């Protein structure tokens, strides 16, 4: 048996992808599927030991894919398939240098939503008209505007805009990669489709000043590191809400905690925090009452996660077979 298995190309899988997707992989008799057996993040040492000599690897965003990983993998590695739309955990230069193809999971998580249920005790207060109030998303009169801002304006941002339109948003401002030209047609089409008074690409400064609610939805990495810093937060409206469902590194946590404490802005909703998963009860943001934090679960619906693992598996198999991948990231 070991002779047969040594002749088969190896596909490493760093987390159980569920019965359907694992069956899809195991049906391939020409492949030796080596999967981390436990229901927790795989150990770094296991990852490095088992990637040695592999042709493909399916990994999670909690696995750091760096020089060391590629060195251990060796020259046989053809494809890395990450079960995520984000790729901050992947060293793109190292991937490119080694000519490893990179699969990721766009689109399947554009539709995921968050349901937040915070457990607690029913507050024991006598009713006051302004208890537990916060800023309203919709404008309350025709002369009033409500602007949603997007830092990053890809698929997820555009779908989010559509969802918010029905809450009475009047304007949209966004920033996007300055090296790509402003798309006036797209702006006009989105404004018409969602009955908005305008959709405009702006500079970072204006984004901070104009947004009533601001969504951070750009990729992580060096180019966007701490783009939301103290300077940015000071420019925001006092009633503004900041939402980060992208990567923690885009937002300077200390600056955000200070902004909340000193009421430069009204609140924050975070699915991601810099330094996760090491975010304990003493973290300055966890202590902030106007900061709602969930542990990186914005894509956690059955449908989306199944879409992600299935796409990651198909990307890996396409890479091994040297055919077009359903979703390949151009590194």
Q: How far is CA 219 from CA 1, 83, 117, in A?
A: 44, 15, 27
Q: Is 247 a catalytic residue?
A: yes
CB of 83 to ligand DGY, least distance (A): 7
The answer to whether residue 315 forms part of the interface with ligand DGY (CB under 6 A) is no
Considering the rule CB under 6 A, would residue 157 count as an interface residue with ligand DGY? Answer: no
Kindly report whether the peptide bond that precedes residue 277 is cis, defined as omega within 30 degrees of 0.
Answer: yes
Stretch that binds ligand DGY, among 13-21, 78-86, 130-138, 195-203 (CB under 6 A): 78-86
Rounded to an integer, what distance in angstroms lies between the CA atom of residue 302 and that of residue 36? 21
Stretch binding ligand DGY (CB under 6 A), from 30-38, 83-91, 166-174, 197-205: 83-91
- Please give the Cα distance from 307 to 311 (Å, whole number): 6
Site for ligand DGY in 57-76 (CB under 6 A): 61
The CA distances from residue 135 to 257, 262, 309, in Å, are 19, 17, 38
For residue 226, give the nearest of 201, 249, 203, 199 by alpha carbon.
Answer: 249
CB of 298 to ligand DGY, least distance (A): 6
DSSP notation for 67-129: HHHHHHH-TT--EEEESSS--TTB-HHHHHHTT-EEE---STTTT---------PPP-----T
Binding of ligand DGY by 84 (CB under 6 A): yes
> Cα separation of 324 and 283, whole Å?
44
Q: Distance (Å, rounded) from C-alpha 290 to C-alpha 260?
A: 7
Decide whether 196 or 298 has the Cβ nearer to ligand DGY.
Answer: 298
By CB under 6 A, residue 86 contacts ligand DGY: yes
Q: Does 21 bind ligand DGY (CB under 6 A)?
A: no
CA distances from 88 to 60, 157, 233 (A): 11, 18, 23
User: In the chain, how long is the greatest CA-to-CA distance?
Assistant: 76
Q: Which is nearer to ligand DGY, 187 or 271 (CB)?
A: 271
Q: Is 85 in the site for ligand DGY (CB under 6 A)?
A: yes
Which one, 50 or 245, has the nearer CB to ligand DGY?
245
**Binding of residue 309 to ligand DGY (CB under 6 A):** no
Q: Is 298 in the site for ligand DGY (CB under 6 A)?
A: yes
106 or 284: whose CB is closer to ligand DGY?
106
What end-to-end distance do the CA atoms of the chain give, in Å? 38
The three-class DSSP label of residue 201 is strand
Nearer Cβ to ligand DGY (170/310): 310
* Least distance CB 216 / ligand DGY (angstroms): 12
Q: Which of 10, 89, 171, 296 is catalytic?
A: 296
Site membership for ligand DGY, residue 299 (CB under 6 A) = yes
Binding interface with ligand DGY (CB under 6 A):
61, 84-86, 109, 298-299
């Amino acid at each position: 048996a070991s002779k047969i298995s040594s002749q088969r190309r190896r596909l490493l899988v760093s987390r159980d992808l569920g019965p359907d997707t694992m069956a899809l992989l195991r049906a391939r008799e020409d492949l030796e599927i080596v999967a981390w057996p436990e229901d927790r993040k795989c150990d770094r040492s296991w990852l490095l030991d088992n990637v040695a000599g592999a042709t493909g690897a399916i990994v999670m965003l909690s696995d750091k894919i760096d020089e060391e990983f590629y060195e251990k993998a060796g020259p046989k590695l053809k494809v890395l398939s990450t079960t995520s739309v984000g790729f901050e955990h992947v060293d793109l230069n190292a991937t490119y240098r080694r000519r490893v193809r990179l699969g990721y999971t766009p689109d399947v998580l554009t539709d995921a939503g968050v349901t937040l249920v915070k457990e607690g005790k029913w507050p024991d207060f006598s009713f006051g008209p302004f208890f537990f109030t916060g800023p309203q998303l919709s404008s309350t009169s025709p002369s009033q505007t409500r602007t949603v801002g997007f830092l990053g304006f890809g698929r997820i941002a555009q779908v989010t805009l559509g969802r918010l339109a029905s809450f009475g948003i009047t304007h949209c401002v966004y920033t996007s990669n300055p090296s790509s030209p402003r798309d006036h047609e797209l702006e006009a089409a989105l404004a018409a489709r969602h009955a908005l008074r305008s959709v405009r690409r702006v500079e970072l400064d204006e984004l901070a000043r104009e947004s009533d609610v601001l969504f951070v939805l750009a990729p992580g990495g060096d180019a966007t590191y701490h783009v939301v810093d103290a300077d940015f937060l000071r420019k925001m409206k006092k009633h503004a809400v900041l939402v980060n469902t992208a990567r923690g590194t885009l937002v300077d946590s200390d600056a955000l905690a200070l902004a909340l404490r000193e009421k430069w802005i009204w609140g924050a909703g975070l699915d991601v925090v810099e330094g996760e998963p090491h975010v304990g009860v003493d973290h300055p943001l966890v202590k902030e009452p106007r900061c709602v934090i969930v542990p990186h679960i914005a894509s956690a619906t059955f449908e989306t996660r199944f879409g992600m693992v299935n796409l990651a598996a198909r990307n890996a198999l396409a890479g091994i077979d040297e055919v077009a991948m359903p979703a390949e990231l151009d590194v």
